[in-house]
Amino acid sequence: MTPARDARSRALLDKAARENFPVAPRFLPRARRDDLMAVYGCVRLLDDIGDGDLPPGGADAALLGVDPDRADDRGALLDAFETELHRVFRTARDTGAGGRDVPRHPLLYALVPTVRRHALTPEPFLALVEANRLDQKVRRYGTWEELLGYCELSANPVGRLVLAVTGTTTPERVRRSDAVCTALQITEHLQDVAEDLALRDRIYLPAEDLERFRVTEADLAAPTANASVRALVAWEARRAHELLNEGVPLVASVPGIPKILIAGFTGGGRAALRALRSARYDVLGGAPRPGKAGVLRETAAVLGAAR
- The set of residues, in sequence order, having a beta carbon less than 8 Å from that of 43 and lying 6+ positions away, is 128, 158
pLDDT under 70: residue ranges of the chain: 1-22, 24, 95-100
The tally of CA atoms less than 13 A away on the side-chain side of residue 260 is: 10
Q: What is the pLDDT of residue 242?
A: 98
3-state helix, strand, coil in the chain (%, to 5): 70, 0, 30
pLDDT of residue 94: 83
Amino acid making up residue 2:
T
Distance CA 205, CA 2 (A): 42
User: What pLDDT is stored for residue 101 in this prediction?
Assistant: 82
Contact residues for 121 (Cβ-Cβ < 8 A; gap 6+)? none
pLDDT of residue 16: 53
- Cα dihedral 298/301/302/307 (nearest 10): 170
The predicted-structure confidence for 84-143, as pLDDT tens digits, reads as follows: 999 999 999 986 555 568 999 999 999 999 999 999 999 999 999 999 999 999 999 999
The pLDDT, as a whole number, for residue 1 is 45
Which runs of consecutive H residues, i.e. helices, occur in 52-192?
59-63, 74-93, 106-109, 111-118, 123-137, 144-154, 156-165, 171-191
